[in-house]
Structure formats: structure tokens, C-alpha cells
Structure 1
Amino acid sequence: MAADVKVRDGDVVKAEVEQASSRILEIMALKGKVTDTGAMITRCADYDQEEEVYRARHPWSVYQAPVADMQKAMDRLRDELPKRGWKIVKDGVDNSPAKSPQLVAQSKEDEFAVDVRLLDERKYGDDPSLIEVTVESACYRAK
């Protein structure tokens, strides 16, 4: 039931998710190339399709940086996110065959979540190493 979901302006939510992404990129302090994608609005999978419930998602990545620097960026996130109002809810490996390092955190107000994975080319073969980041908002009903 979407009755407990806040009513929000989708453009405002998108902008907030992009701001959260920018802060995460700043914490990472990783010199490399960053994919240039904007946040997008998607249906919130936690609710029935008939309900007008959405979330903003901002997937992006940093690449063309040494893996050692990427590992340090992950360490900076582990140290800094809790100091900036985020709770780390997973710090381990993902379910991929490569068992990539994964860090998942939620903002204290549960307004945002972030999923960060380090994809190491030494485990993936031809694909270049990168840090894959997805920031998403809490579910909301559109105004």
C-alpha cells in the first residue's frame, strides 16, 4: 500500500539523488573518468504496478584508474560515509562469480541508498576495472 509513501516532486528527487552522487564522488577522491549519466525516474518495485510509486536512480561509474586507487576509494567510503550520516548495511562481496567487493549504505533518514562495487579487470578478463555506483531515493508518490 502506498499510503505511507511521501508525496514528492520527481524533479526535486532527481536533483537530490544527483547531489548525493556528487558527495559520494567527492568522498571517493578517485582520479579517473566518470560516466556522465543523470538520474532517472523508475517505478518502485516494492509496490503494485497500479500504484503511482516511483524512485530516482542514478547509476554511474569511475574508470581508467589503477585498481589500488579504487581500493583506497572504497576504504575512504567505509571511513567517511558513517561520519556523514550514512549507515553501512553491507560491506563484503556481491553475488557475482568474481565476488566483487561491495559496499551498501543508507542515509540515516532513509532518503537514499547507495550500492558501490569494485569490478576488477583481473577477475573479469577483457572488461576494464571500474567502480560502479548506484544511488537511489526512497520510494515516493508523484505530485
Structure 2
Amino acid sequence: MNKKSIPWVVSLSFLIVSGCSSMDEKNSGDLAPRNSGTMQTQTEKKSSELLDIMDLQGKVTEPGAIVAPCSDYPSEDGVIRAPHPWSLYDVPVERMREGMDRLREKLPKSGWRITKDGTDSSRSKSPQIIADSTDGKYSADIRFWEEPESSDEESMIVVTVVSSCFRSR
């Protein structure tokens, strides 16, 4: 699997697990319509905030936010969300650990509530932080994939920021 496809795989698994669980009522009529392009841009800005908090210089994958169906609603309701999967690599492992520590320290001071700080369910038990924005509009899944020194693969931090569900105008 190449670096560009990894964030998409993580993003899809995050979307499947997270669904639209932050919504108590599953009535699409209760959702305010929003412009999907604006939501994509705002989701990308939230991603940039996370990158700024990590304060790491490296390479970042290019794809921007997309729109995807919100799985807790019937597809005919047109309820979507804007996921933005990306990864940061070509950074020394120790610096990536420091970046994860900065997230733990600064996310709560930056409008995020950490809901999980532990390991993911993979065989490698990668460090994982899951956080929700305090305004309830975004969730983030951040994982540190540390490769063994003997590996040909690069270590990376894999991030998916996703908007809450909305109806597109």
C-alpha cells in the first residue's frame, strides 16, 4: 500500500466506525443545509490547525476533503459529511512522537475534546488520539504509525478530520 492510499483506508474505517453518532435524532429535516464546497474548505482548515499544533516539518499527502454519504441516514435524504484524510511523513520518529505529545497537550486548549488517547485495534497497537471539536462540528482520528528501523516503509502520522453530517444545498 502506498502513502497516498493509506489515509483513504483509515478514513473509510473511521467513517464506518464513527457514523454520525454525534446526532441524537436521525431526522435529516433537522439538519441545516450547507454548501458542500464550503464544508470541504472548513474541514481542510480544521486539518491545518492540527498540523500547526503538531509543529512538524515534513511531507504531507495532497488530497483535499471530499464529500461522502453519512451512513446513519437513508441515501435518498442526501445527508453527507466532509472527510479530509491525509498523512505526514519524512519526519524523524522522535519528532513525530513529540508532535503527538503536543496534540495531547494543546488540543483541549484549542477547541477540541479528546475522547480517546490510547492505541488503535491494529496488530501493531499504534498510538491513536480521537478528538471532537467542542462546537460538535468536527471529529479527528490521529494515528502514529511507527515502522521498525529495518522496514522499507516510512513511519507517518495519519489523520482524518471529518465534519458532522449535513444536507447539501
Is residue 63 from structure 1 mapped to residue 89 from structure 2 by the alignment? yes
- Assess if the C-alpha contact under 8 Å between 1:98 and 1:124 holds in 2: no
Per the alignment, do residues 49 and 66 of structure 1 end up closer, same or farther by CA in structure 2, a change over 3 Å counting? same
TM-score after normalising by structure 2: 0.81
Letter in structure 2 aligned against 1:75: D
| Paired residue secondary structure (2:74) | coil
- Assess if the C-alpha contact under 8 Å between 1:114 and 1:136 holds in 2: yes
Residues in 2 aligned to 1:46 and 1:79: alpha-carbon distance in whole angstroms: 32
1:105 is aligned to 131
Residue in structure 2 matching 1:10, options 36, 40, 48: 36
Number of equivalences: 143
| Paired residue secondary structure (2:73) | coil
1:45 is aligned to 71
Is residue 78 from structure 1 mapped to residue 104 from structure 2 by the alignment? yes
Residue in structure 1 matching 2:45, options 19, 23, 48: 19
Aligned CA RMSD, in angstroms, stands at 1.4
User: What do the CA deviations read for 1:113-135 (whole angstroms, capped 9, x no partner)?
Assistant: 11000001129944210000001
Per the alignment, do residues 121 and 15 of structure 1 end up closer, same or farther by CA in structure 2, a change over 3 Å counting? same
User: What do the CA deviations read for 1:19-42 (whole angstroms, capped 9, x no partner)?
Assistant: 111111010011211111111001
User: What do the CA deviations read for 1:31-59 (whole angstroms, capped 9, x no partner)?
Assistant: 21111111100101121222210000110
TM-score after normalising by structure 1: 0.95
**Once the 2 structures are TM-superposed, how far is the Cα of residue 6 of structure 1 from its aligned partner?**
2.2
Residues in 1 aligned to 2:137 and 2:36: alpha-carbon distance in whole angstroms: 14
1:141 is aligned to 167
Letter in structure 1 aligned against 2:126: S
Residues in 1 aligned to 2:164 and 2:59: alpha-carbon distance in whole angstroms: 28
Residues in 2 aligned to 1:89 and 1:5: alpha-carbon distance in whole angstroms: 24
List runs of 5+ in structure 2 lacking aligned partners.
Answer: 1-26
Identity of aligned residues (%): 45
Residues in 2 aligned to 1:123 and 1:55: alpha-carbon distance in whole angstroms: 38
Residues in 2 aligned to 1:16 and 1:64: alpha-carbon distance in whole angstroms: 26
